[in-house]
Amino acid sequence: MIIEAVMKKVSVIISNKNTAKLLQAGLRNLEEIKKHDYEDLEVIVVDRGSTDNSVEMIKSQYPSVKLVESEDKGLSVSSNAGAKVATGEYFLFLGPDAYPRNRTIGGMVNYMEAHPDIGLATPKLYLEKGALDPDAHRAFPTPWNSFTRLTGLYLLFPKSKLFNSYFMSFENLDVPHEIDACVFGFMLVRRSVFEEVGGFDPDYYVHGEDLDLCYKIKESGHKVMYLPQWESGHLKTRVPGSKSGEAGTKEKASLSLKTEYAQSSTSAMRTFMNKHYRNKYAAPLLWFMNLGTYLLEFQRVSTVTIKHLLS
């Protein structure tokens, strides 16, 4: 069912799969923003075949939300479906575990209105315990930063432009500046730019879609900006096995599901590199980068397996 709504400046698009508790808190936060800060919003939730009470909760508690019910074909496909029914000049792709703070949405829209060369922007994202989300501020993978990340050199030299070029931690994180990519949790995209680059690539299921979109936007000549004067919370609970789990509860995810997600993240890296880098890097370098993703996959699968067995 889709509820008709008047045209708005910003369309908030949320892809949901069994995250009822997180989603409920997120929708409540957006309602407060509409009441006290920025009312020019429409909220769209694309539900990917949830088996919890997500759909019933939206229908009963948030009738003004545009609800699109679909089968689960992944984050990219569902986000594109949300964009198709959106009316806004800007699309805000928001995770159900992301909570923008007051003045963030309106402030960022005004900033982008004043800077038409910006195609996508993200704010300073805070994790649950107050640390900054490093994935919201990163560079595209290269042979060198892939090596420093895989070997852990970036941890030994966190402020080094040479050794931590992937997370770009040498930048002043309190000053607006251009970046390569951010994380899906909060992506404010100009509608015209999103349509120009063809939206999200459906080849990505739940990882890599953010990196790919940022790459296409920069390749089209638009900027991707980090705007730390505005903030949002980001619990990062999309991956099963995290503190709150897929459904926003403390239920223990199965080992097979944890392993699947660990493998999905590195598989997405290979999809990205083979799609965009085949004609950019020599075959030996591309082979090296792909090898690095398999080593990282082994590390991640081993980690989740050990943690699961010990929990």
One-letter amino acid at 231 equals: E
Q: How far is CA 42 from CA 22, 70, 86, 88, 104, in A?
A: 19, 19, 8, 8, 16
| Domain-wise residue ranges, the chain | 1-137+173-237, 141-171, 254-311
- For tokens 């085949």, name the residue: 278
Residue 3 is predicted with a pLDDT of 44
Q: Determine what percent of the chain falls in helix, strand and coil, rounding each to the nearest 5.
A: 40, 20, 40
**167: which 2 tokens?**
């997370």
Cβ-contact 297, 262 below 8 angstroms: yes
**135: which 2 tokens?**
């994935």
Q: How confident is the model at residue 308 (pLDDT cuts 50, 70, 90)?
A: confident
Cβ-contact 168, 132 below 8 angstroms: no
**147: which 2 tokens?**
């090596």
- Phi and psi at 137, nearest 5°, equal -150, 90
State pLDDT tens for residues 124-140.
999 988 899 999 999 99
Q: State the first-to-last Cα distance of the chain, in angstroms, to the nearest integer.
A: 41
The whole-angstrom separation of Cα 148 and Cα 155 is: 9
Domain 1-137+173-237: CATH superfamily, name plus number: Spore Coat Polysaccharide Biosynthesis Protein SpsA; Chain A (3.90.550.10)
Residue 245 is predicted with a pLDDT of 40
Question: Does the pLDDT of residue 243 top 70, yes or no?
Answer: no
Q: How confident is the model at residue 237 (pLDDT cuts 50, 70, 90)?
A: low
